[in-house]
Amino acid sequence: NLNSSVENLRYTAERENSKRYFLQTSLVLIVIFLLLILLLVVIYSETQVDGLTKLRNRRALNIRVGKLASSEKRYSAIMIDIDNFKKLNDTFGHAFGDEVLRTVASILIKNESHNVKCYRYGGEEMVIILEHFNLEHAVRLSEYIRNEISCLKWRYDVHVTASFGLGFEMPDSIK
């Protein structure tokens, strides 16, 4: 009877230890899985985001425009080019040029929404894609951003401006 009770206690303790080991192992595997997902998200975002400006990069732009072109969504595109950027870079240095790019990009990022996405096309060129917006909305947003850029104050006595180009795409079913 005493042996049976001791054996029963030993069996219960071993079962509890097995449960605890299983739960600990499961928890470790879940944490590893979540860390791998986080790593994949970071790697994916690194391939889609420009490191200097934090805008989406040209690769992301090409993917988005490809999807839009094959869909039935209408969209507008705004192309932005910082005027005389090479001269700014040559006169005040690349650090100041980077500051200009980051600051202009921050204005674009402030205007992002679910249907408005901003991209660095290359160099001093940036693109805004407006889904479900007509050309009038794109003109208004362009003028607003152009004014914001023009009003910026810089550590050097310079006036930074930008030129804008607009385009509009309608699906064939609407044309």
Active site residues: 124
Tokens of 43: 């790697």
Asked if 118 and 78 touch (Cβ cutoff 8 Å), the reply is: no
Amino acid at 32: I
Amino acid at 37: I
Amino acid at 101: L
Tokens of 51: 């490191």
Tokens of 158: 């310079």
Q: How far is CA 95 from the centre of its chain?
A: 23
CA nearest to 111, candidates 99, 127, 97: 127
Q: What is the DSSP string of 79-107?
A: EEEETTHHHHHHHH-HHHHHHHHHHHHHH
